[in-house]
Amino acid sequence: MNISKPLKNCSHFFRGLVLLAVLGATWPAGAFDLQAHRGGRGLRAENTLAAFEHAIRMGVTTLELDIAITADNVPVISHDTALNPFITRDASGQWLKTTGPLIHSLTLAQLQAFDVGRINPASTYARDFPDQLGQDGLRIVSLASLFKLVNDLGASEIQFDMETKVNPVYPASTLAPDEFVNTLLAVVREAGMVKRVMVQSFDWRTLALLHTLEPEVRTMYLTIETPNFHNVKDGTWTAGHLLSDHNGSVPRLVKAAAGQAKGVIWAPLLNNLTAELVKEAQALGLQVIPWTVNQRVLMLRCIDWGVDGIITDYPDRLRDVMARKNLPLPQGVFR
């Protein structure tokens, strides 16, 4: 060990100790949070058990995933509120030609008639992830089945970062926030995973509910500031909290929305983040975990800024970068 290395890496250690003490969580103290986005969709079919198992065996801190609720009130893992034609084939093996039914309109049994194990090679999406290893027969699965997989593998330190797919602009596409959160929490509590779960959302109403209903669940405030989607420009997505009330500071907006909640994380789009914003957020007691960081040079930049973790489609690349920066690596599971 080279003890002459800059002490900034030690800040991750002490922030981890503080978070562990506050939450009583099983997240290893001092761990830089390596989050496999949708299970690592650059490598395996997104949000599938195959992707999650691959990430667990490789060694990640956290499985990042998305939650939708079926017609029979089962939390399932899907980024899209409706079946995505880029990754979905019907029971006859044909690619969907257009966006399919809403997840919320199908039962779990109906949903599992569709295959989501590959990207349609004719789609523009396929060009984004040319190295993804597809597999026939993969299904959209329940959250409970992911918890079972993790337990079966003995992956007792794996954390979960779950995005609530709730949209205030299109409320009919999902359950209402209170129903959504209660349905999700029931499965998390039954599995005994409260201390291993963080919940993220662009729609901060779900996060406000969690602070009241289950304060031990960490909350992650997603932000994006682009011409096509800007969830902090007014109060629509931020549960009524206004950026203008905080002198345009997104970290201060997040802090105000979170109030006295513990274990709060700010998750900005990488392109909206700067070193100065990292410092500002951490000075407010927030952790900072940007998304979605796929290039090694950008991973290095984020680590040099002192972020607390990174969400990436390529956990293998991030492991390489972490090793280069002498950050402790999450252990893979070999059972």
Does residue 30 contact residue 12 with C-beta atoms inside 8 Å? yes
Cβ–Cβ < 8 Å for 255, 300: no
Helix (H, G, I), strand (E, B) or coil at 38: helix
Angstrom distance (rounded) from CA 12 to CA 9: 6
What separation in angstroms does the CA of 215 have from each of 47, 175, 281, 314? 26, 22, 21, 31
Q: Enter the pTM of the model.
A: 0.91
- Looking at residue 195, its pLDDT comes to 97
**Degrees (nearest 5) of the Cα angle 158, 224, 38?**
30
> What is the pLDDT at residue 334?
86
Alpha helices in 197-314 (DSSP H): 205-213, 250-258, 275-283, 296-305
Note whether 81 and 173 are within 8 A (CB).
yes
State the Cα–Cα distance between residues 22 and 181, nearest whole angstrom: 23
Low-confidence spans in the chain with pLDDT less than 50:
1-27
pLDDT for 30 equals: 59
Q: Report CA-CA distances (Å) from 16 to 12, 151, 233.
A: 6, 24, 32
Residue 31: what pLDDT? Answer: 82
Which pLDDT does position 5 carry in this prediction? 33
CA distance 174 to 68: 8
Cα–Cα nearest to 197, from 318, 16, 35? 35
Supply the DSSP string of 139-186, one letter for each residue. ---BHHHHHHHHHHHT-TT-EEEEEE---SSSGGGS--HHHHHHHHHH
